[in-house]
Amino acid sequence: MPGKIETVRVALAERSYDIEIGSGTLASLPEFLRARTDSDHAVVITDGNVEGLYADAASDLLVGDGWEVDLFAVDPGETSKSVEVVEELWNVMLDEGADRKSIVVAIGGGVVGDLAGFAAASFARGLEFFQVPTTLLAQVDSSVGGKVGINLPGAKNMVGAFWQPRGVLCDVDAMQSLPDREYRAGLAEVVKYGVILDADFFAYLEANIEAINVRDAEVLTHIVQRCCRLKADVVEQDERELTGLRASLNYGHTFGHAFEAIGEYEELLHGEAVAAGMRCAMQLAVRLGRVDAATYARQETLLTALNLLVDPLEADGQDLLRLMYRDKKTAAGKLRFILPSRIGHVELVSDVAESDILASLEV
């Protein structure tokens, strides 16, 4: 039976929705959906790793509750966020009779959520969409806020939409089945929230290293709830990334996305690339005199304790710069970086010399 449920409300007028977080919540999926949709046809999208762990059982629960369910599993990994795979999804949905009254349910990590969300946003001009994230990274970050999309070979998340889910159901028990590398990758986004928005939360992470490392359900429930609340606060104020506030969520990502692309989305997990990117961004902030060495050391110490001291991929600096210029935060041909001024606060910084950017790769 589910334990204590934490609920985060994302207030976006008619697009508002709840995020329910707790231990054992997956068992309540049919009730969760029934409370939020009149549909009785669910297209469940997952990947080959999650299918046997959670998606099959979740689909069985829905069938037992009277739903018509079509389950589609893509190959695990970032390479499934492609034009070819989403086209395959569209055709499967067409063949299975999906229509405007069908819903899409994403069960899996960030790749599944982004891909399924884009399929939902684009098929029949938009289907209701639900997120059931099963990785830490997806629970604290990618499942919240409505950003969905796919990659182009040279640019991550360059094709997509803002398509808010109708609800997000997080079961922290799913963390127990995550490989250590995947769990650690999710913790990178957790650390990010502390650096950019909440010094007290950063201190909470520092004080609960042991519980985090053993995946304590109570601590994880608090972590997921706090990260979701922090992201929801930003999304409510800047849903479509127009004011610059939402860009703060991309701390470490300008570097990180370049590392992912240079590794062809196969050498580093997204969270690992973000961890490396945060190290470079903090190093850049030190070089620019925005933070002191002690602040840099504090982030390094936390990343080390969480086994996240990821080095940037070795690559030609000019190749990395070329990839960074494709970043969505670039404006008028100039790179812009999210950089801290202290733990708990970041700013968007322009006119950074390329020499400082290249020097910041040496962490």
Vertex 191: Cα angle to 315 and 357 (nearest 5): 35
Give the active site residue among 128, 192, 250, 260: 250
Give the C-alpha separation, 153 to 293, whole Å.
37
Active-site choice (49, 78, 147, 229): 147
Listed in sequence order, the DSSP H helices in 75-198 are: 83-95, 110-122, 136-137, 180-197
Catalytic residue check, 147: yes
Identify whether 322 is a catalytic site residue. Answer: no
Pairing assessment for the beta strands 337-342 and 345-349 based on DSSP bridges:
antiparallel
Distance of alpha carbon 291 from alpha carbon 278, whole angstroms: 13
Measured CA to CA, the distance from residue 263 to residue 123 in angstroms comes to 31
Of 81, 184, 231, 298, catalytic: 231
Among residues 51, 78, 128, 189, the one annotated as catalytic is: 189
Catalytic hit among 81, 184, 192, 257: 257
236 is catalytic: no
Query: What does each C-alpha distance from 290 to 152, 162, 342, 347 come to in angstroms?
Result: 34, 33, 8, 10
- Is 264 known to be catalytic? no
Q: Is 345 a catalytic residue?
A: no
Cross-sheet strand order for the sheet of 103-108 = 6-10, 17-22, 167-171, 128-133, 103-108, 41-47, 68-74
196 within 8 A of 248, measured Cβ to Cβ? yes
Instruction: Out of 166, 184, 253, 298, pick the active-site residue.
Output: 253
- Active-site residue, selected from the candidate residues 128, 241, 260, 272: 241
Q: Among 156, 192, 222, 246, which one carries the catalytic annotation?
A: 246
Query: What is the rounded distance in angstroms from the CA atom of residue 255 to the CA atom of residue 155?
Result: 13
- List residues with catalytic annotation: 125, 147, 189, 231, 241, 246, 250, 253, 257, 270
